[in-house]
Chain A
Amino acid sequence: MAFAIDSNWVVDFAWILGIACTLASVSMILFVLWFRRYVDAENRHEKLVNDRWQETLFEIVSADESPDAENLPDDDFGAESYSGKFKNDFDDEVLQQIPEKDSPYFLYTWNYIHESLRGNAKDRLNAFAKSRGAKEKALKLLRSRFIKHRLLALNTLGNLGEKSTYDRISTFAAKRDPIVSVWAFRAMFRIRPRETLEKHLHLIAERADWSPAHVAKILKECDVDLISEGLAKLCNEYREKEISEKQFAYLVSYLRFAHQRDAEPILRKLISESSQMEVLISCLRLVRSEDSLPSIRKLLIDERWQLRMFSIMAIERFGHSYDIELLKRSLDDKNWWVRYYAAQALLRMPDMTTDDVKKLSVMVETDFERDILLQVLAEAEFRCKTQSSTAL
C-alpha cells in the first residue's frame, strides 16, 4: 500500500485547478465590491440629475404660456429663437448646458415626460431640448457602444422631429437588431412620415423579426389618410411575392389602419382565393363588406376550426337573418370555441331576442348545444346586471 500518490501529477493538476478557481473567486469578490461602490455613486448622481431636470421640465410643461401653433419652430434656428422665450421664465441654473455625463439621464427624463404628453406641451419640451443641444447629444449617443444609449438617441431624435437627422436614422432601420431597427423606423415616421411611407414601408413586410405588435403601434400613431392607400398597395404587391404565410398574414392585419374603401377589395380577393389559414383569419377579423359574405359562408364548414370560428364572428357583424339557420347548425360543432361564438352570434343577431335563444335552448337536441346556449345567456344576463349597476 505504499503508493500514496504525492508526486502524481493528477494531484498537482487538482491543486492548480483549485487555486485557479480560488483566484477567480477572489477576483470576482474584488470586482463585485468595486462595482457596488461604482453603481451606488452612479445611482446617486442619476437621482440628482433626474430630480433637477424633472423639476425643470415639469415647469416647462406646466408653464402658462402656450405656444401659438402657427409660430412653432420647425428648424434649428426657429427652435433657438423660440427657446429664447424661456430665458426670462427660468433661472440661470436651468439654462446651464447639460454636462456630457448627464446627457443620457437628461434625455431619458425628457423622453419619459415627452411620451406621457399630448399636444402643445410637447412643442415646449422640444423647443427647450433643442436649446439645450439635445439633438447634438442624441447624435453623439447614436455612436455609443451601449444599445440603451442608441435606443434613447433614436427616440429623442424622433420625438424632436429633427428633419436633418432623418438620413442618419434611416441607416439604423436597416440594422440587424430588431429592436434598434424598429425604433429607428418609428423615429423616421415621426420625422418625415410621407417619405418613410414612400421609401421604407416595405420594411414592415420584409422584416419578419420585427414585433407585429410594435409595427401595429407605429401604424396606429400615423394619420390614417396618409397610410391607408400605401398599406393596401403594399398588401397587393406582396400577394405575389415570396414571403411567409405568417408574415403576409401580419401584413394583411395591418389593414385595420387603412380606410375600408382601400382595404376591402384586397380582403375580398383574399377570402375568395386564399387557402392559407393565417391569412384568412386576418381577413375575417377585418372584413366589413357584404360582398364577401358568400365566401365567408363557405368557410363555416371548413375543416379547420379556427376558420369556422372566425367566419362566425364575421357573419355576426353583418347580422343577416338568413345566417341564423347556419349559426344554429354550428351550435353542434365538435369544437367548443366554434359552439361558443355561434351561440354568442345568435344572441346578437338583430332578429333574435333573448327569449328566442332561451326557447332554442329548450328545443335543441344535444347537451352540447344546450350547455353553450345556457352559458351565453348567463353571460348576457351578467353583463346586463353589471351595466345597470354601473349606470346606477
Chain B
Amino acid sequence: MQDAILHSFVEYIQWFYLLYFIGLNATYGILGLISLFVLPRYIQKQIAQRLPHAETGFEPPISLIVTAYNEAPVIIPSTEALRQLDYREFEIVIVNDGSTDNMMELLTKKYDLEVFPAAIRESIDHEPIKAIYQSKKYSNIRVVDKENGGCKADASNAGINAAKYGLFMPLDADTILERDCLKLLIQPYLLNAETIAVGGSVRILNGCEVENGFLTKVGFPKNWYARFQVLEYGRAFLNGRVGWNFFDALPLISGAFGLFKKEAVVEVGGYSNTSLGEDMDLVLRLHRHFRLKKIPYRVDFVSDATCWTEVPYTYDILKKQRVRWQRGLFDCIWENKKLLFHPRSKGVGWGSMPFLLFMEGLSPFIELFGYFFFLISYYAGMVSFEGTVAFLFLSVASGFMISMSTVLLEELIFQTYPEKRDLHTMIACAFLENFGYGQINSVWRLEGTIKWILNTKKSWGMMARSAAWNKTATEEEGGVHAVIENTEKLDAPAEVSEETNG
C-alpha cells in the first residue's frame, strides 16, 4: 500500500517535471520563433535609418536624466559622451543624489555651473532638492543637487520633475550609449502617438574597448561570470523582450535604457522608491493604469537601439545582484497582482506576468527541488539510475537548447562579436552554463525569494566597477580610453560605488 502511494507520487513528480520542461521549452521556443520572424524583417526595414538625413526633423526633444551617487570617476566622461549623441535636440539633467565624493566639484569646474532659480514642479515625491544648477558653457546641461534618497528611484523622480521635455530617458552614470541610439528609440513615438515607453537592448561592456565615452571595439568578456551573463542578457532581450513585444505584453524596460513619456509616468506616480525592481514596477504600473482604465497606449521595444553596461564579475557581487533582482521580481508581481489574469490585462496579465511568476519566479524552487528529489529518490531506490540520468540529461539538454537558440538569433541578426573565437566561446558557454552556473543562480534566486517572503531589510547592494575606462581619463586630459576587462587582469576594483545610488 505504502509502495503504491510512493510509486504514484514519484510518477506524478516525474510527469510534473516532464510537463515543466515541455512548457519551458515551448514558451522559449515560441518566443524564439517570434524573434526569428520579427527581427530580420525589422532589421531589414532599418535600411531607411542608415541612409543620410534619415531624420524627419520632427523628432521631439528628449531629457536625458543621469542619476549619480558618488560617480566622480565616471561622471565627466559619461556626460561628455552624452553631449556627442547624434540627435536633434536633447538636454542632460544630472541628478546628484547627495554624493559624498567630489562629483559636484568636478561638474561645477567642468561645466561652469551656476545656481538657477528653477520653479520645479513637484509632480512626483522625492527627497528635497538643495539647488538646481545651469551650465554656463552648455545651455543643455543642468545639475539637480538633492538630498540622498537611498535609491535610484528617488533620484530619477527628482530628474523627471526637473526635466524640461515631454520624453525622458533615465540613465546610469556608467552606461555607454551607442551614438545613434536616440534616433532609433524615438521611432516608435513617431509611428504611434499612443506610445508611452520604449526600451532598447542592454549589452555587456566587460571585454569591450571604450574611447571618449563611446564603444570602439566589441569584445567578449574573459571572465566566466560575465561570459555567462552575455547569454542571459541575450535570452532576456533577443528572445524575451522581442517575443513579448510582439504580443504587446512587454513587462520590463531596463532601468538603464528606456525612453518614457513624462506625462504617463507622472500619471502613475513615477518610480517606486520602495520596490527593489523599480524599473519593472514602473512598466507594470503603466500597463495596469492604462490597460485597466481602457486608455489606448503602447509600450514598445527597439532591438537595435543598444547601450552597454558593465556587469558583476565576482561571485559576491553577482550573488547580491541576483538576490536583489529576485526580490524585486516578487515585489513587482505582488504590487501589480491586480493585473495577473485580469480580463482586461490581455498579453501582460495572461502571458508575460504568468511567465515571470512561474518560469522566472518559481523556477528556482522547481529546479532545485527537482535535483534534490531525483537524487534522494535514486539513493532511496525509488527511481532507477536510468530514470535519474534521463531527467538530469533532459534538464541540461533543454537548457542548452534554449541558450543555443539565443546564440542562433544573435548570429542571424546582429553578429555582435566579430571574432570567430568569441563565437566558439559563446557556444561553449551555452553548454557549460548548465553545469554549475545555472544551479548556483537558482540557489541565489531561492535566497531572494525567501528574503522576500520574510521581508528582510532591503538593500540596493554595492556594485564593484572596474572603472578601467576612467583610468586614462585622468592621464590623458579629456581623453578616455579603456578596456573594460575582468578582475583577473585588475589588481583590485579601482572604484566601488553603489550600483543604484543606495
Contact = CB atoms under 8 A, between A and B. Distances in A.
A112 B408 CA distance: 30
20 contacts: A3-B3, A5-B7, A5-B14, A11-B384, A15-B390, A17-B18, A17-B398, A21-B397, A22-B397, A25-B401, A28-B405, A115-B53, A146-B44, A148-B44, A151-B47, A155-B51, A213-B59, A217-B58, A372-B119, A378-B118
A350 interface: no
A201 interface: no
Contact of B18 (A14, A31, A115): A14
Contact of B139 (A212, A246, A382): A382
Most buried by A among B15, B25, B121: B121
Interface in B99-133: 116-119, 121, 123
A341 B136 CA distance: 23
Assign chain B's interface to a size class: 35 or more
Interface string B233-273: 00000000000000000000000000000000000000000
B53 A18 contact: no
Interface of B: 3, 6-7, 10-11, 14-15, 17-18, 21-22, 25, 41, 44-45, 47-48, 50-53, 56-59, 116-119, 121, 123, 134, 136, 139, 187, 190-191, 193, 380-384, 386-387, 390-391, 393-394, 396-398, 400-401, 404-405, 407-408, 411-412, 415, 420, 423, 427, 430
A205 interface: no
Contacts of A155: 51
Contact of B427 (A18, A29, A147, A382): A29
A313 B423 CA distance: 56
Contact of A24 (B380, B393, B401): B401
B383 A32 contact: no
Contacts of A319: none
Interface residues of A, number: 63
B10 A5 contact: yes
Contact of A116 (B41, B53, B134, B187): B53
A336 interface: yes
Contacts of B401: 21-22, 24-25, 28
Nearest to A17: B394
Contacts of A35: 411-412
Majority SS of interface residues in chain B?
helix
A344 to B, nearest CB: 12
Contact of B387 (A4, A209, A340): A4
A386 interface: yes
Interface in A333-392: 336, 339-340, 368, 371-372, 374-375, 378, 382-383, 385-386
A111 B51 contact: yes
Given A17-B21, A21-B397, A147-B44, A36 B411 contact: yes
Given A39-B411, A148-B45, 19 more contacts: A4-B384, A5-B11, A14-B17, A14-B393, A17-B18, A19-B397, A21-B398, A22-B397, A28-B405, A28-B407, A32-B407, A35-B411, A36-B411, A151-B48, A211-B190, A336-B121, A375-B117, A378-B116, A386-B136
A69 interface: no
Most buried by B among A33, A112, A178, A179: A179
A234 interface: no
Interface string A133-174: 000000000000011100110010000000000000000000
Contacts of B430: 25
A216 B430 CA distance: 47
Contacts of A372: 119
A370 to B, nearest CB: 9
A220 B41 contact: no
B384 A6 contact: yes
Contacts of A209: 191
A385 B116 CA distance: 14
Contacts of B420: 36
B487 to A, nearest CB: 30
A185 interface: no
Contacts of B14: 5, 8, 10-11, 14
Given A1-B381, A17-B22, A336-B121, A183 B48 contact: yes
